[in-house]
Amino acid sequence: MPDAQLDQIDHIVVLMLENRSFDHMLGYLSLPPAAGGKGRTDVDGLTGSETNIDSNGTAFPVARMTSPIMNGDPCHEADCVTEQLDDNNGGFLRNYAKVVVSNPEFIMHYFTGADVPVYDHLASDFCICDRWFCSLPGPTQPNRAYALAGTSDSRNVNFGSTELLLGEGFLGKTIFEVLPNTVSWKVYSHDIAALRFFKKFRTKIVPQIDKVTKFFSDASSGTLPNVSFIDPDFGITVFPGPPNDDHPPHDSRHCQNLVSNVYNALLQSPTWSKTLLIIAYDEHGGFYDHVSPRQFKPDDDDENFRFYGVRVPAFLVSPWVAKQIAYGSNTHGLAETEVLFDHTSILKTILKRFGGGPMTKRVQAANDLSALLTETSARTDCTPAPLIPNVPVSLKDLFLLESDRSELQASLDAMVARATAEGVPADNL
């Protein structure tokens, strides 16, 4: 039956955000109301008893975030993730203490529904995945490569700015290159498309790359392509407005409003009844999560990459998805065993619906998302998500202070410089 529902989907939209773990953003769902939770027993989230121990032997428990802005940018390079996952996910606090001296216990803190009202709405109205892992324990670029090509070319580190300026990049074949010619696609960017991390797309004028403003007009007119990827505002100079990618220490409320605007645009689109929106995070950004990915061994062309990264938030939003469902762990009773997903599940789903391929072993072995489309007809009770009003823009984001740029922003600036020098116009980045 779910395959029949997938056949009803003509538009798959993917919004990939930055650097947050499942427990950090959605772990509150399983907590009791007194701790800011929803008391959901179908979600493998926080219990409130989780702790990490600092170098002095002091245990710090999980606690509610007191600010929408993190006090630093946690490390999420491969060696840092290794330390975080050691001792049964007991190294997050000690690792973050190497980044910030003051209040490293913030790495253990979680948002509640009051803090992330858009996610609270989507978790209540649609499906979340509590066994969705980023594709490898490492940073942004290789995880986004897996989301587009099912491989990072056996690379678990980012390309540096100098490498990107010299034209280096990923070599794998992306989903867009294996789709049938009859299947339409677009990448909607704010600043620059993550597709340009791939060497063959670095300085190429790609007609299918457009600005996010075109996404909203395409949604309104019912002219979205079959496959859409949306890249958020990473906080560089190309696109006006505050960064909304959720990369710490960016204000998470701007990301909430981006997600709300994307979802509401699709909900109001004439093609809503044929649409599936997938929202995920490229990696966990160094934030605590209690589920160890080390117990799972996905297939991969490189035997040294047969492992997942840390669990990240993921939403399946569609009128073909049941209301308030958690899927993945066996707490929901929808499957006999837990069902695992990673970013290549997106690619597997696109190929299953529209054909094309082949891709990598990781894609071939991935679970697709069709089992989550459980409704026998498109729901008509889906409601708009809220917006958070009057979110301020910090001075460092308003003036794009160079001293405060993250490694990701520096790498994106390098790509913009190289593409612009090669004649790529700003509205095609």
Query: Which of the four pLDDT bands, split at 50, 70 and 90, describes residue 419?
Result: confident
Judge whether 195 lies within some domain.
yes
Query: Are 178 and 358 a contacting pair, CB within 8 Å?
Result: yes
Angle at 79 between CA 73 and CA 84, to 5 degrees: 65
Query: Are 217 and 228 a contacting pair, CB within 8 Å?
Result: no
Judge whether 59 lies within some domain.
no
Judge whether 33 lies within some domain.
no
Tell me the three state secondary structure of residue 80: helix
Query: Are 110 and 27 a contacting pair, CB within 8 Å?
Result: yes
More confident of the two residues 239 and 82: 82
Question: Which residues lie across from 129 on neighbouring strands?
Answer: 327
Query: Which of the four pLDDT bands, split at 50, 70 and 90, describes residue 403?
Result: low
Q: Which of 409, 365, 368 is nearest to 141 (CA)?
A: 409
Q: What is the pLDDT of residue 400?
A: 58
Judge whether 31 lies within some domain.
no
Judge whether 281 lies within some domain.
yes
Q: Which amino acid is at 325?
A: I
How remote is the C-alpha of 42 from its chain's centroid? Answer: 22
Q: Does residue 331 have a pLDDT over 90?
A: no
Looking at residue 291, which CATH number applies to its domain?
A: 3.40.720.10
Judge whether 80 lies within some domain.
no
Q: Does residue 240 have a pLDDT over 90?
A: no
Q: What is the pLDDT of residue 398?
A: 61
Q: Which helix (H) or strand (E) holds 255?
A: helix 252-267
Locate 24 and state its tokens.
């950090």
Q: Which amino acid is at 79?
A: D
Q: What is the pLDDT of residue 2?
A: 63
Judge whether 106 lies within some domain.
no
Judge whether 96 lies within some domain.
no
Cα distances (Å, whole numbers) of residue 133 to 186, 312, 313, 422: 25, 6, 8, 36
Compute and round to an integer the Cα radius of gyration of the chain: 20
Locate 187 and state its tokens.
């990448």
Q: What is the pLDDT of residues 269-317, one digit of tens each?
A: 999 999 999 999 999 999 999 999 999 999 999 999 999 999 999 999 9
Q: Does residue 336 have a pLDDT over 80?
A: no
Mean pLDDT of 5-21: 97
Q: Does residue 409 have a pLDDT over 90?
A: no
Q: Per residue, what are the HEC states of 276-342?
A: EEEEEECCCCCCCCCCCHHHCCCCCCCHHHCCCCCECCEEEECCCCCCCEEECCCCCCCCCCCCCEC
- Structural domain of residue 128, as residue ranges? 2-19+116-428
Backbone angles phi, psi at 417, to 5 degrees: -60, -45
Contacts of 322 (CB under 8 A, 6+ apart): 127, 374, 375
Structural domains counted in the chain: 1
Q: Does residue 246 have a pLDDT over 70?
A: yes
More confident of the two residues 406 and 352: 352
Backbone angles phi, psi at 388, to 5 degrees: -95, 115
What is the DSSP secondary structure assignment for residue 97, as one 8-state letter? T
Lowest mean per-residue pLDDT among 237-241, 247-251, 341-345: 237-241
